[in-house]
Structure 1
Amino acid sequence: MRTALTITLAMALAAPGAAHAATAADNGTNFTAAQPEDDRAQERREARAERARKARAERAERQREARQERQRSENRERSRQNRSQASDRDRDRSFNARAANERMEAAQRRAENAERRERSSVRQRGERQVDRAERRREINARTERLRDNGNVVLRGDRDFERERVRDRRGERRTERRIERRTDERRDRVERRQSHSREYYRDREDYAKQRAADLRRNGDRIVRYNGRDYRHWHSHDWRTDRRYDWRRYRDRNRTIFSLGYYYDPFGWNYRRYNIGYNMRPSYYSSRYWISDPWRYRLPPVYGPYRWVRYYDDALLVDIYSGEVVDVIYDFFW
């Protein structure tokens, strides 16, 4: 009985040790099996990192190559533009040289033609002189033969005189043709100069002189239609209801829209006040308001005229160019 109890107790004490040994064995086996998994995960991470590094390197290389290709294309485009500009300059220089050569050749041709015409005219004059001398000798010989025969007829003299008159007519016709061409050239030059600023200055001087003459001659006629035309009373008509142009313009706006104003000198707008003097071109007949009542303006008399200046209506003394009345922003 005692022996069985001893065996049972020994077995009970040996069981925890065996279980511990078995547990230790199992843990060792599991650790040994988990270690290769961690190595493979580390290898995969390193492989992914290496692939990412290679991808970044390849992307950087491609970007660098793209930049280099773009730079090369820009350089090629710039060089092509430079060559194009250089070729354009060369072509311009060659064109200018060719044009200069053509002008020189044209001048040389004109000089040669003039010299040829001169030689031809000299030769023709010489031939005409020789022909006239021969005809004169023939006429003289014929006259002498007629005189020797006793029949004194001055037929040869009449023929010679007739030829001489015909030659003079041809010369006068040529001279008239040359004078006519010269006059035509002079007229063309004068017509071109008539539109220049010097022409306008001359016109202004003429207009001032004419205004002075008119004022000097007009002092004898100081009244026009019962009024003293040398003075304009700008406030009298503004109180008259017949000339209420503002209300009339509000109801008839299209009448006051005259369109573009053409400045004779191409200058900008300048605000004229009463007492200013205008240039004659600004109050010429093309700018007159011929029917003041159409715009409900008072009638004018003597030297006064209503004149359009841009959108303003000015009353101007056309003898002196003085502005005697102003309505600003009259037209649209």
Structure 2
Amino acid sequence: MTIKQLLEASGLSALAAVLAFTAAPAQAEASADTQRAERDRDARQQARQNRGQRREARRANRGQRQQARQERRQAQRPAAAPVRQQRQVRQNVRQERRGNRQDFREERRQVQRQVARENRREQFRRGGGEGRRMGVNRNYTQRIDREDRRLIQQREQRRAERRGNRADNRWDRRADRRDNRADRRADRRDNRWDRRADRRDAYREGRRDARRDWRRNNRSDRYVGNRYDRRGDYRRGDYRRWNRKWRDNRRYNWRHYRNNYRNHYRLGRYYAPYRNYRYNRLNIGFFLDTVFFGSRYWINDPWSYRLPEVYGPYRWVRYYDDVLLVNTYTGQVVDVIYDFFW
């Protein structure tokens, strides 16, 4: 063997060894993939079998529940039969009593009519014998009988008309109640949207209103005439004092009204006029800055929250979840209700 042949043989053996090493991992991966696929197939088949078993168990449980329900119904039917019989007996007794009352009333009416007729005849007989000789008595009694029959017919007609009117009025009242309920729902919906729009507009225009209020309250020297005199009187205290006894009036029971209409007292988040400002519990006599009782914080319709109407310089103002009554010319807190809103 020459050197060339030796080199060729060693190169072929090395190439064969390399091919063997590269083929072994590929075969191992292929066998692992097939085993994994078989395991997945077995798992899916087992899960399908489990679902089928659970479905069969549910069907069996449903059948058992239906059978138990039917057994309970059959057991309750014999107990319900005596109740129906007792109800039927009570209805029959009630109908008999009603019929007896009607018969008694009719007999009493007949007796009363007969007594009245006899009395009228007796009075006519005592009136003189001239009418009896001329046969007027018989005509008079016939006329009285006709009048009695006519009165009875008129009475029955009026009763029938009253029954019909009661039925018509009953249906009209029901229809009116349905219409009123629908109207109240629509009104509440419209009021809700209006309040949301008002709050949105008030928040957008709050800074501008607060700036305008600050200018208005600091222009005391510019006012002339009646307007200046009126504001001066308010600042000197020449106005009707606020009466805190309004809580004794049951018309302003706002707690009871809030329990029935909770959503009406949810106004959303309170935005303070200053950044990083925190809530402070205010008492009567505290003096507020003008930005805290600008028009964006006013409660324009106090009666909708069952609060009394304001007068003079007073305004109901929202302060977080509290309600303050503020003298807008001095900034003094005159009345306060804590935890008014939700």
Q: Is the TM-score greater than 0.5?
A: no
By relative contact order (CA 8 Å, sep 6+), the higher-ranking structure is: 2
TM-score, with length taken from structure 1: 0.34
TM-score, with length taken from structure 2: 0.33
Question: Larger C-alpha radius of gyration, 1 or 2?
Answer: 1
